[in-house]
Amino acid sequence: MPEASPSDSPVTTADHAAVRVITVNRPDKLNALNAATLDALREAFEAAASDDSVRCVVLTGAGAKAFVAGADISEMNTLSPVQGRDFSQRGQRLMRAIERMPKPVVAMVNGFALGGGLELAMCCHLRIAADSAKIGQPEINLGLIPGFGGTQRLLRLAGRAATLELCLVGAPIDAQRARELGIVSRVVAAAELESETMKLAAQLADSAPLALRGIIDCVNVGGECGIEEGLEYETAQFGLMFSTDDMREGTGAFLERRKPAFRGS
């Protein structure tokens, strides 16, 4: 288990058995993403990826109002064009690292997920939103465009028409509409968000780690290539599973009508 995070850290972590909860901890700023927070998130995810005791990660925001309400506008207002590009690249490196995590990452969307906050949620593998959450890409209202991958991931999740409407109009949508568009995986009552998210995370943590990683890899590769290449990659990953103890344990447990005990080997 990692050492307890300082209460004034922009990102805190806490372990619940094999589930690590990573929290953006700037509630007074609605958890807005500045450069320091992006760097702290990158470090937290790198630590989770390399820790064998962690099998699933939950990402959320501190406080009741926001998951992440966007990038820190007070910091962006002072940036030059070159600095703006660098800020975008810093955010995109983080989002790509989360997307490529070898362990499942669940976004627990507890409030506003706007701009950089929606971009952060979309790079997670699953997204559970409170029914009170508000979701959108409002950068147009600042004379900006999404810079942390919003146009690309939203396009892949929700399609061209919905992406253009959300980005061009800039108005937020509610969680249920986001669910209908495929932007979030599930919508639950706000009072049940934490318990339902942790229940899902515990289920994922009990699953076969190498198979989870194989699925994440296949979906990532398939989303970025043609169907033939994607199918070939899936076949290769499927074959590799037959070299694992977990595959023998899972199939054996099924035949013996017992619960499998996966070890990640």
- Residue 154 shares a structural domain with residue 237: no
- Residue 21 shares a structural domain with residue 140: yes
pLDDT at position 158 is 96
pLDDT over threshold 80, residue 165: yes
Residue 1 lies in a domain: no
Distances (CA, A) of 248 to 80, 237, 241: 56, 16, 9
- Residue 191 shares a structural domain with residue 213: no
Residue 127 lies in a domain: yes
Mean pLDDT of 215-241: 95
- Residue 190 shares a structural domain with residue 217: no
Mean pLDDT of 220-224: 92
What the block records as the tokens of 24 is 């953006």
- How high is the mean pLDDT of the chain? 94
Residue 6 lies in a domain: no
Mean pLDDT of 14-32: 96
Please state, as a whole number, how many other Cβ atoms lie within 10 Å of the Cβ of residue 115.
27
- How many angstroms separate the CA atoms of 220 and 198, rounded? 24
Q: What is the pLDDT of residues 34-44, one digit of tens each?
A: 999 999 999 99
- Residue 72 shares a structural domain with residue 124: yes
pLDDT at position 36 is 95
pLDDT over threshold 50, residue 1: no
Asked if residues 74 and 25 have their Cβ atoms less than 8 Å apart, the reply is no
User: Any idea which residues carry the catalytic annotation?
Assistant: 119, 139
Radius of gyration of the chain (CA): 19
Q: What is the pLDDT of residues 167-219, one digit of tens each?
A: 999 999 999 999 999 999 999 999 999 999 999 999 999 999 999 999 999 99
Residue 23 lies in a domain: yes
CATH number at residue 221: 1.10.12.10
Mean pLDDT of 69-81: 91
From the centroid of its chain, how far is CA 225? 21
**pLDDT more than 90, % of the chain:** 93
- Residue 48 shares a structural domain with residue 150: yes
pLDDT at position 5 is 56
- How many angstroms separate the CA atoms of 65 and 133, rounded? 9
pLDDT at position 8 is 78
- How many angstroms separate the CA atoms of 42 and 226, rounded? 30
Residue 263 lies in a domain: no
Mean pLDDT of 76-97: 94
Mean pLDDT of 251-260: 93
DSSP string, 172-222: -EEHHHHHHHTSSSEEE-GGGHHHHHHHHHHHHHHS-HHHHHHHHHHHHHH
Please state, as a whole number, how many other Cβ atoms lie within 10 Å of the Cβ of residue 114.
24
Count of domains forming the chain: 2
- Residue 216 shares a structural domain with residue 240: yes
Residue 193 lies in a domain: yes
Tell me which residue of 201, 233, 213 sits closest to 100, measured CA to CA. Answer: 213
Mean pLDDT of 26-36: 95
What the block records as the tokens of 73 is 């506008």
- Residue 190 shares a structural domain with residue 213: no
Q: Which of 206, 223, 247 is the last residue of a domain?
A: 206
Tell me which residue of 10, 7, 24 sits closest to 69, measured CA to CA. Answer: 24
pLDDT at position 6 is 57
- Residue 46 shares a structural domain with residue 73: yes
Mean pLDDT of 30-37: 95
CATH number at residue 27: 3.90.226.10
- Residue 200 shares a structural domain with residue 213: no
Mean pLDDT of 74-89: 93
Residue 261 lies in a domain: no
- Residue 197 shares a structural domain with residue 223: no
pLDDT band at 264 (very low <50, low <70, confident <90, very high): confident
Residue 235 lies in a domain: yes
- Domain housing 228: 209-256
- Residue 119 shares a structural domain with residue 165: yes
